[in-house]
Structure 1
């Protein structure tokens, strides 16, 4: 079973700036993964 109980504190400590920062980091990471998959057919999961 999966719950969101662990998210209460991070949500309380979050604001608009941290939300946009987190969103940008996620976008960049997924961008690297997608580009790796397109160009190489494999990925290092965004670690580079």
Structure 2
């Protein structure tokens, strides 16, 4: 239960950071974070 909550918080934080970097025009960093987000989401699906 606690690990699931931690993953949810991490996903939300990554989504927030991606939006901020996109707003600033930093595409490289937002793509890097998007890769991390996709990894987390794929782990969530397999759990």
Query: Relative contact order (alpha carbons < 8 A, sep ≥ 6): 1 or 2 greater?
Result: 2
Q: Which has the larger radius of gyration?
A: 1
Runs of 4+ off more than 3 Å:
none
Structure 1 residue 22 corresponds to structure 2 residue 3: no
Give me the CA root mean square deviation. 2.0
Partner of residue 16, structure 2? 31
* Structure 2 gap ranges (5+): 37-47
Unaligned regions of 5+ residues in structure 1, if any? Answer: 1-15
Structure 1: distance between partners of 2:25 and 2:3: 33
Between Structure 1 and Structure 2, which shows a larger proportion of helix residues?
A: 2
